[in-house]
Each structure stands twice: as C-alpha cells, then as structure tokens.
Amino acid sequence: MVKKSEGRKEEFREGLKEDSAEKMDISKTWADGHAAVSKMWEDSYLKLYKPWIESSGEMIEM
C-alpha cells in the first residue's frame, strides 16, 4: 500500500511540473506577443503621427 501511494505522489508531482512548465511557456508567449505589439504601435506612432503633428505645427506657425 505504501508503494501505491508513493507512486501516486510521484505522478502528482510530475503532473505539477508539467503544468508549471506549460504555464511558463504560455506566459513567455504572452510576454513575447505583448512586446511585439508594443513595438509595432511605437513604430507606427513614430512613422505616422509624429510627422503629422510636426507638419501641423509648421502649418499653424505660418
């Protein structure tokens, strides 16, 4: 009986390790995706809105 319960404990521990590794993978995937979207937004702002704002300011000064 003792061996059966120890075996189940080992299976449970292995399951926890697998769940933990999967959660870490999901977290890393989410963080990588967030970083990529943030970079895309920053690039689009710098390429589109910054020149537009600067040119609008020049037009107002005229």
pLDDT at residue 14 is higher than 90: no
Rounded CA separation 44/36 (Å):
12
Query: How far, in Å, are 23, 28, 46, 58 from residue 34 at the CA level?
Result: 16, 10, 18, 35
pLDDT at residue 34 is higher than 90: yes
Rounded CA separation 61/29 (Å):
47
pLDDT at residue 33 is higher than 60: yes
pLDDT of amino acid 1: 46
Q: What is the mean pLDDT of residues 4-22?
A: 68
| pLDDT category of residue 58 using cuts at 50, 70 and 90 | confident
pLDDT at residue 13 is higher than 80: no
User: 62 versus 50: which is more confidently predicted?
Assistant: 50
